[in-house]
């Protein structure tokens, strides 16, 4: 049994839970972080000195943190090809897209765009900064658009761990009021992901509890 600490409105928790759902693993999840608190207690900090979510424990094992590492752990222990192949050359082609998504797309979206549009009171939002961040993200999404025009999924024609690391921000990307370029391949890809039961359950989650009011 897996134990997860983290609120379901956390984008990193969503990536982890989506992966758990795709792999069909039994779990229990405890709300922690943001309005639920609990991440600054000695007990939590002993599990994750960063005081962030998610934290994952597999059975009676050591608690683990860092979402990218958690996804690779679950995929390596419980997944199989094509989701996470054992051949290091084949796997590296998937991992490059996963890493690219984590350090570029999710970082370029979550704080500079999502936090600005949803987690900042309207009177304190900076429309110029949001526009710049959207332009920067657009450059990355053009790379994804080119790839998804040739391939069904981000790393090829099969669903892989790279899709979790990339796709888990798309619900919010398409839902919030920002300028979006017309990207038919990205839209087709998002529509396809949104038919997956685990994506619907763990990623297409209301973010209203995060919304900043005046
Ligand atoms: N690099 C870490 C980042 C973890 C992180 O910043 N998590 C956020 C939620 S997405 C958090 O804990 N925020 C504080 C909170 O929810 O109280 C990871 O990928 O797991």
Distance 107 CA to ligand 1 centre (A): 11
| 140 falls within a domain | yes
| 211 falls within a domain | no
**C-alpha span between 31 and 49 (Å, rounded):** 18
Q: What is the CATH number of the domain that holds 41?
A: 3.40.30.10
Residue with CA nearest ligand 1 atom 5: 52
Q: Which atom of ligand 1 is nearest to the CA of 37?
A: 17
Task: Specify whether 60 is located in the same domain as 93.
Answer: no
Low-confidence ranges of the chain (pLDDT < 50): none
**Structural domain count of the chain:** 2
Q: What is the CATH number of the domain that holds 157?
A: 1.20.1050.10
Task: Specify whether 95 is located in the same domain as 142.
Answer: yes
Q: Which of 8, 12, 64 best tests ligand 1's pocket when mutated (most atoms within 8 Å of CB)?
A: 12
Task: Specify whether 131 is located in the same domain as 100.
Answer: yes
Distance 36 CA to ligand 1 centre (A): 13
Does residue 160's CB lie within 6 angstroms of at least one atom of ligand 1? no
Task: Specify whether 12 is located in the same domain as 99.
Answer: no
pLDDT of residue 214: 87
Q: Which atom of ligand 1 is nearest to the CA of 66?
A: 20
**C-alpha span between 19 and 119 (Å, rounded):** 26
> Under a CB-based contact definition with an 8 Å cutoff, are residues 56 and 67 in contact?
no
The residue out of 78, 100, 115 marking a domain boundary is: 78
Count Cβ atoms below 10 Å from residue 10 Cβ, excluding itself.
24
Does residue 165's CB lie within 6 angstroms of at least one atom of ligand 1? no
Distance 64 CA to ligand 1 centre (A): 13
The residue out of 58, 78, 98 marking a domain boundary is: 78
Q: How many residues does the chain have?
A: 214
**C-alpha span between 168 and 70 (Å, rounded):** 15
Q: Residues 6 or more apart from 17 whose CB is under 8 A from it?
A: 4, 8, 27, 29, 198, 201, 202
**C-alpha span between 137 and 109 (Å, rounded):** 7
Task: Specify whether 65 is located in the same domain as 146.
Answer: no
Q: What is the pLDDT of residues 155-205, one digit of tens each?
A: 999 999 999 999 999 999 999 999 999 999 999 999 999 999 999 999 999
């Amino acid at each position: 049994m897996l134990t997860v600490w983290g609120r379901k409105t956390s984008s990193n928790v969503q990536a982890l839970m989506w992966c758990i759902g795709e792999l069909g693993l039994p779990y229990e999840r405890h709300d922690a972080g943001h309005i639920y608190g609990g991440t600054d207690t000695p007990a939590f900090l002993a599990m994750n000195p960063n005081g962030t979510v998610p934290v994952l424990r597999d059975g009676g094992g050591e608690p683990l943190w860092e979402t990218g590492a958690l996804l690779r752990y679950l995929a390596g222990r419980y997944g199989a090809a094509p989701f996470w192949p054992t051949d290091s050359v084949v796997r590296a082609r998937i991992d490059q897209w996963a890493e690219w998504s984590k350090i570029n797309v999710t970082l370029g979206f979550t704080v500079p765009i999502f936090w600005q549009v949803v987690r900042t009171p309207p009177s304190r939002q900076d429309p110029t900064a949001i526009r710049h961040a959207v332009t920067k993200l657009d450059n990355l999404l053009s790379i994804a658009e080119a790839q998804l025009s040739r391939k069904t999924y981000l790393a090829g024609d099969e669903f892989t761990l790279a899709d979790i690391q990339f796709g888990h921000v798309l619900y919010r990307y398409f839902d919030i009021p920002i300028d979006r370029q017309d990207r038919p391949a990205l839209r087709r890809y998002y529509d396809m992901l949104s038919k997956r039961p685990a994506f619907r359950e763990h990623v297409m989650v209301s973010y209203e509890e995060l919304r900043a009011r005046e």
